[in-house]
Amino acid sequence: MKKIIFYLLILNLLSLNSVMSQNFSQLEIKIFKNIRCLVCQGQSIADSNSDFAQTIKSVVSDKISQGKNEKEIYNFLSSKYGDWIVYKPSLNIPNLMLWVIPYLFVIFGVMFFLKNLRKKRQNK
Amino acid sequence: MSKINFTAYFILLLIIFVFMIFFFGLKNNQKYDTRDNVGKQISEFELTSVKSNNILTKSDLDKSNFKLFNFWASWCPPCKDEHPFLMKLNKIDKLKIYGINFKDDTKSAKKFLVNLGDPYDHLLLDETGKSSVDFGIYGIPESILIDKNLIIIKRYIGPINNKDYEEINSLVTK
């Protein structure tokens, strides 16, 4: 049993995420995790070793070394592949409802909860 | 505001919220699609010419003809499938074909063209695949048809077939 656990541990270490095995900065890893691998099934480029993921990682690293910030990199990739490539939707007019409505919903929910609570206390 | 009124407003808001999510969510394109690129001018790029070894940029493109940018590699089997159609497209006077050899070995690429024929007016290299990102390429073969003003008319993902050939021919010669 101990042997099996040992081999499993070794296997686990060997199959460490591709991103961890290379020397990427924290910013690079953060951006990789937020970019969708377009040729994979539900994976970010951080999780993928596909040809596409490798190329985009390399482009992102180049952009960072050129002094581009995170937002500029997302904008660049969105302009080439559409908003779909970025996991976190950008805050723009078409996406505004998706950003604002959940907050409104929470605010109204809290108001509803507090109002009910107050009523219950008054009834007691 | 009575409790019933407040609850009614809350439920109404919930319904509107769910409706909005579906309305905007279903309108969102959930796949990589190139429709957004059509009608836009191609981006700046830098690619090495195989013949002259010079760097070709967007400003070097001649504005007298339609252009087809074809991304290909000798290791890509679907590129072989589309090759006869590219050879046919090469015969159209108003169309210049730019072959962008993607992440390939130049020797193998040249051998590929010797064996199957060279449909390209200009052969360019993208050894790392990074320049192809400027064109929004995510796999090969992929082709971009550009008009005289360098505006993207159509993108073809996957190998060009006879239907695509007919379409390109009619778009260019009309």
ipTM of this complex: 0.76
Predicted confidence at residue B6, as pLDDT, reads 72
pLDDT at A11 over 80: no
Give the domain ranges of chain B.
1-30, 46-173
Residues in chain B predicted with pLDDT less than 50, given as ranges, are: none
Average pLDDT, chain A: 83
What is the CATH number assigned to the segment(s) B46-173? 3.40.30.10
> Rounded to two decimals, what is the model's pTM?
0.75
Predicted confidence at residue A9, as pLDDT, reads 65
Q: Which residues of A touch B29 (CB under 8 A)?
A: 82, 84
Of B13, B14, B30, the CB nearest to A84: B30
Strand order across the beta sheet in which B95-102 lies: B55-57, B46-49, B122-126, B95-102, B66-72, B142-146, B152-157
Which of B103, B126, B138 to substitute to test the interface with A, most A CBs within 10 Å? Answer: B138
Q: What is the helix (H) or strand (E) element at residue A14, kind and residue range?
A: helix A2-14
Q: What are the residues whose beta carbons fall under 8 Å from the beta carbon of B104, sequence distance 6 or more?
A: B73, B74, B75, B127
The whole-angstrom separation of Cα B141 and Cα A27 is: 32
Closest CA to B136 of B172, B82, B100: B100
Cα distances (Å, whole numbers) of residue B3 to A123, B16, B70 = 13, 20, 65
Predicted confidence at residue B74, as pLDDT, reads 96
- 3-state per-residue secondary structure call for chain B: CCHHHHHHHHHHHHHHHHHHHHHHHHHCCCCCCCCCCCCCECCCCEEEECCCCCEEEHHHCCCCCEEEEEEECCCCHHHHHHHHHHHHHCCCCCEEEEEEEECCCHHHHHHHHHHHCCCCCEEEEECCCHHHHCCCCCCCCEEEEECCCCEEEEEEECCCCHHHHHHHHHHHHC
Q: How far is B93 from chain A (nearest CA, A)?
A: 30
Mean local confidence (pLDDT), A18-30: 76
Closest CA to B46 of B156, B122, B165, B134: B134
CB contact (8 A) between residue A104 and residue B43:
no
Q: Are B145 and B38 in contact (CB under 8 A)?
A: no
Query: pLDDT category, A41, cuts 50, 70, 90?
Result: confident
First-to-last alpha carbon distance for chain A, in angstroms, is 62
Interface size between A and B, measured as CB pairs under 8 A: 70
Please determine, looking at this structure, whether the domain spanning A2-90 carries the CATH number 1.10.8.640. yes
CB contact (8 A) between residue A98 and residue B21:
yes
Predicted confidence at residue A111, as pLDDT, reads 87
For A78-105, the pLDDT digits (tens) are: 888 888 899 887 677 667 777 787 888 8
Q: What are phi and psi of B47, to 5 degrees?
A: -135, 145
pLDDT at A70 over 80: yes
Q: Which residues of A touch B40 (CB under 8 A)?
A: none
Query: pLDDT category, A1, cuts 50, 70, 90?
Result: low
pLDDT at A13 over 60: no
Q: Are A112 and A104 in contact (CB under 8 A)?
A: no
Q: What percent of chain A has pLDDT over 70?
A: 78
Higher pLDDT, B47 or A10: B47
Predicted confidence at residue B138, as pLDDT, reads 84
pLDDT at A16 over 60: no
Chain B neighbours among A 3-42 (CB < 8 Å)? 38-39
